[in-house]
Amino acid sequence: MHLDRFFRWLNILIGIVLAVVLAGVYWFFWRPLPQTSGTALAPLTDKVTVTRDRLGVPTVHAANEGDLLFVQGYTTAQERLWQMDGLRRYAAGDLAEIVGPGALELDRESRKLRTRRIAEQIYSTMPAQDRARFAAYARGVNCFIDTHRGNLPFEFAVLGYDPRPWTVVDGILIGLYMYRDLTTTWTEKIQKNNLLATGDREKVNFLFPIRRGTEILPGADVYPGSNAWAIAGSRTASGRPLLSNDMHLEYSIPGIWYMVGLQMPGLHVAGVSLPGVPGVIVGHNDRIAWGFTNLGFDVQDLYIERLDDRTGKYLFKGQVEQAAPEREIIRVKGQAPVELRHWVTRHGPIIIENEKERVSLKWAAAEPGNFQFPFLEIDAARNWQDFTNALARFPGPGQNVVYADRDGNIGYHAAGKLPIRRNYRGDVPVDGSSGEFEWDGYIPFEELPSAYNPPGGLIVTANQNPFPTNYKYTVTGRFASPHRSTQIHELLMARKDLKPGDMLKVQKDVYAAFNLYLAKSIVAAWDRRKANNPDLTDAIQLLRSWNGQMEKDQAAPLISALAFQYVRKAAADLASPGNGSLYETQMSVAVVDRLLRERPAGWFHDYDEMLIRCLLDAVEEGRRLQGRSVNKWVYGKYLQLLIAHPIGHRLPLVAPYFDVGPVAMSGGSTTVKQTTKVLGPSERFTADLANWDSSLLDVPIGESGHLLSRHYKDQWEAYYNGTSFAMPFDRADVKSTLTFVPK
């Protein structure tokens, strides 16, 4: 009897706990799921419908631009509101207000960069039509917020706050977030300056090359990059162009892009949008397609100021000028607010303060009048002239832009506000008081590199340097080594019957020419020296038989990757003794490649001995990581990816449901599928100019930021396994319809 009573009460308790859990799941996760069918009232001038396909991708159908962008804002907020709020807070320096002191340093940096102040300045000077478009989008976001108070995504409830209204300035902040992500170079200038302080100037300059003849400027190891190409019909199976784009950015959950379609009279466009910003950023309309890769041109300079901290007075061209004082109050959850004060000179804010010097930052994004938003004109462009006319308004971050149209044309144009430097390169901090290192305006758009229907029928950009060696302006920046662009070019030139599926094969290619060359160099050094070290025999054999594919289930890619780290450190230690660990720039792959190919005097006394020593160091590290037997090593255990939800990852028991991974990854920093532990392809897009419905598009994880949405992770398996999805355009794939009715 007592046992029966115990189990009866136990079952009751379990039932109560289960009911509470289910009620919590319903209240916090199921209830906020977006409405995708039926009708909704909204302050519109006409009826608007939103259809969604099997991936949850919305297409907004409206009669006018104001209603179109209103509903785009509303629809994006349905799926991504907390992400949007997080992005604007990160950009403005308001994260500590909701998450506490752990975000204080991030907020300090954003406040020093003056991002919100820049956004407010931009608002006052941006063209009226651009402002109106941002305002329409903001009204849609606010309509969603106002009609869903108390029924917002769970992150707001967990952190205990409600989102403030969305503004035009917030949309500009999202744009500045991307600008900052793709153009921050000032930390590298400090790194070079520090190496120069104790090193050999000639060797340090070798580690940070500017330009050598016709060599493509070295570049990114783990810096955000991208691939894009346009192929003329002479090289495709259909006889019409193909255009592909995969932009490489930091992983996040949800991902940075939101797939969307927009339709109204005179506009039919589809692709990826940036949450918080109107229009389509990359995609195609019914006439043209386009894609972007980061240009990497340097748009930041550091100035050593002769400034009096007490008064803010500083020297410029022999005259005393007054810096502007700025005061920031950073709200910190659970603590007293933190005050931040700094001076702003004619060059920009004081970004570095130490006992030796005061250094200010000049940034193209902060220059008055630079910000415009041409994406609605790009979305509606009908031909190359329309497209480039719109692109000329693009302020930055500097981009390589590829183009194709239904008439069979392909094109390329660099875009963005790129500063003209006279008599200096800006690769280290310069004297701010002399007046000799000022920008002389910006390179005119018509003088930026461009191409239209090149003879080879192929345009490839993978962040490599597009500027000719005899270019009239000084060229400085983070341009990628040629490894990715060369591999893409070779794969595409091998055939003349290319189809959309072939583009996906190129996008997921993991052949690493640099790592294979390094492996062969190590093996050749071993053979020349007739070395005989039992600790290295297995590693040498693996490198000898390797084909250069950075596959996750192999050992050789790991050996090569670790060996590179030690070769890079050895070179930097020679240039600046004891500082090798500081040299982690985007230039190091191409620098090491050049050292090994040219073997210049004055560096290593014996290159072969250095390579074997670096292999020994790599093997010792690998054994610390994965055990004694080299043959059992697995590259994917080293290149593991975990995409953690910023809030859900911290919740006990349920974190795995929010996160992606950890999973083993293939690829590397110089493979076409550029992959590291923090960044990779943020979307994969191929436009088929012969048949829009044969185009392909996917994002890494899914459309929705809601855990219980079927579209939260529904694209991950395809992304991970290198497959994709058809991109409906002319033939609609309608799974649900929501109609907005004017009220």
477-513: pLDDT as tens digits: 888 888 899 999 999 999 999 999 999 999 999 999 9
Give the C-alpha distances (Å, rounded to integers) separating 471 from 127, 348, 440, 479: 32, 28, 16, 15
Query: Are β-strands 38-42 and 736-742 bridged in parallel, bridged antiparallel, or unpaired?
Result: parallel
The 3-state DSSP class for residue 441 equals strand
Q: How many angstroms separate the CA atoms of 362 and 440, rounded?
A: 13
Cα torsion 648, 642, 177, 384: sign? negative
Place of tokens 């997921």: 508
Distance CA 541, CA 736 (A): 57
Q: Give residue 583's pLDDT.
A: 86
Does residue 492 contact residue 231 with C-beta atoms inside 8 Å?
A: yes
Segment 282-295 shows an average pLDDT of 97
In the Cβ-directed half-sphere of 464, how many Cα atoms lie within 13 Å? 24
**In the numeric block, which tokens belong to residue 359?**
């250094």
What is the band of 223 on the pLDDT scale with cuts at 50, 70, 90? very low
- Per-residue pLDDT reduced to its tens digit, 321-366: 999 999 999 999 999 999 999 999 999 999 999 888 999 999 999 9
Asked if 586 and 478 count as a contact pair (C-beta separation under 8 A), the reply is yes
| Per-residue confidence band for 281, with pLDDT thresholds at 50, 70 and 90 | very high
Supply 357's token pair: 């010097």
Tell which residue, 217, 191, 201, has the closest CA to residue 589. 217
Q: Per-residue pLDDT for 220 more than 50? A: no
The Cα 126–Cα 210 span in angstroms is 34
Task: Find out whether 181 and 249 touch, Cβ atoms under 8 Å.
Answer: yes
Would you call the peptide bond into 482 cis, given omega within 30 degrees of 0 as the criterion? no
Provide the pLDDT for residue 222: 36
The domain locations on the chain are 1-31, 38-185+301-366, 513-638
CA 235/CA 494 separation, integer angstroms: 10
Both structure tokens of 110? 């954003």
Does residue 465 have a pLDDT over 90? Answer: no
Give the model's pLDDT for residue 219: 32
What does the block give as tokens for 122?
């931009």
Q: What is the pLDDT of residue 369?
A: 82
Q: What does the pLDDT read at residue 216? A: 31
738 contact partners, CB below 8 Å, separation of at least 6: 35, 36, 37, 38, 39, 40, 49, 50, 52
Q: What is the pLDDT of residue 221?
A: 34
Average pLDDT in the 398-415 region? 97
**Confidence tier at 213 by pLDDT (50, 70, 90):** very low
Residue 188 CA to its chain's centroid (Å):
18
Residue identified by tokens 């909704």 is 40
In this prediction, residue 580 carries a pLDDT of 81
Picking from 70-84, 481-495, 556-570, which range would have the lowest pLDDT averaged per residue?
A: 481-495
Mean per-residue pLDDT for 689-717? 97
**Do 739 and 52 form a contact (C-beta atoms < 8 A)?**
no
pLDDT-based confidence at residue 64 (cuts at 50, 70, 90): very high
Would you say the C-alpha torsion 129, 132, 133, 134 has a positive or negative sign? positive
Q: Which two tokens stand for residue 29?
A: 């996760």
From 281, 502, 479, select the one nearest 379 (Cα to Cα): 281
8 A C-beta contact, residue 342 and residue 349 = yes
Average pLDDT, the chain: 93
What per-residue confidence (pLDDT) applies to 224? 47
Give 15's contacts (C-beta < 8 A, 6+ positions apart): none
Q: Which residue has the tokens 């090593």?
A: 633
Check residue 29 and report its DSSP letter. I
d(CA 398, CA 364): 10
What phi and psi values does residue 47 have, to the nearest 5 degrees? Answer: -65, 140
Least confident of 440-444, 477-481, 552-556, 719-723: 477-481
Predicted confidence (pLDDT) per residue in 116-166, tens digit: 999 999 999 999 999 999 999 999 999 999 999 999 999 999 999 999 999
Query: What is the share, in percent, of the chain residues with pLDDT greater than 90?
Result: 85
**Distance separating alpha carbons of residues 740 and 518, to the nearest angstrom:** 60
Q: Which CATH number fits domain 513-638: 1.10.1400.10, 2.40.30.60, 1.20.1050.10, 3.40.50.300?
A: 1.10.1400.10
Taking each helix axis from N to C end, the angle separating 556-575 and 537-544, rounded to the nearest 10 degrees, works out to: 110
The whole-angstrom separation of Cα 219 and Cα 295 is 11
CATH for the stretch 38-185+301-366: 1.10.439.10
- Classify residue 28 by its DSSP letter: I
Mean pLDDT of 472-476: 93
